[in-house]
Amino acid sequence: MNPVLAWDVVLPRGLAFVAVGLLMNVFGRRVLSKKYNEELDGSPMWLWYTNPVIQMVIIPVLCAVAIAERSIPIFDQWLIADQAHLGIWDVDLSLVLFAYFCKDLTEKQTMLYHLHHVVCAIMSIGALYVPNCGAGIIVGGSILEVGSCCFKLTRFFPFDLWARIIGVVGMTASNLLSFGMLINTIRSKVVPTLILVPYAISITTLLYMRQEFNFREAREFYKDRYLSKKSV
């Protein structure tokens, strides 16, 4: 077994990252909530300010380091390699994603929101222990979080055209990149069918829902900004 995947390595690191995430929540509730106590889409404003630190700074930096330190020079081959080729940076990136999804489970939200976070948390930690393509799953999840953060600009600046463009382009690009990595995984034929089929279905469904919501919001923005003015 790959020594970086041993539980005496993974467990303490995972608990540490989860603890940091929960401390961020405490900081948000105790400090930031005094100024940012309103809610947006069911989440407190302080969560909207703290989560981008993880999505746009911590996750991309760890992802870049994991890619730079990969054990196989050819990128596509590394994405589909077996778990023996995972390094400590891959483990840390996976655990940060896991902790990120866990920290938001403490917030009051819809059942669908919590179900999404539970599934993503399971996939993040499970990526370390699938026979092949663990790196691809981890990197794909990281890319999706960057796209989600780009889309958050449309919530901060709902009437700004450039915020909408960045949100739509960022979300779409992340979905396309993640789908491309899924196709790469399927074409590799190294993942057991019992793992590949549910994984492919869940990822395709997630990407469809993200993109459908993205375009639906863009259409509403276009109608409100341009068509409503013409009808006046």
| 116-159 pLDDT tens trace | 889 899 999 999 998 889 999 999 999 999 999 999 999 989 89
Instruction: Tell me the CA distances in angstroms from 219 to 41, 114, 224, 226, one per residue in order.
Output: 19, 27, 9, 10
CA Rg, the chain, in Å? 19
* pLDDT band with cut points at 50, 70 and 90 for residue 160: very high
Stated pTM of the model = 0.90
| 87-101 pLDDT tens trace | 999 999 999 999 999
Supply the pLDDT for residue 182.
93
Supply the pLDDT for residue 230.
57
* DSSP bridge pairs for 45: none
Instruction: Tell me the CA distances in angstroms from 166 to 121, 152, 155, one per residue in order.
Output: 27, 10, 12
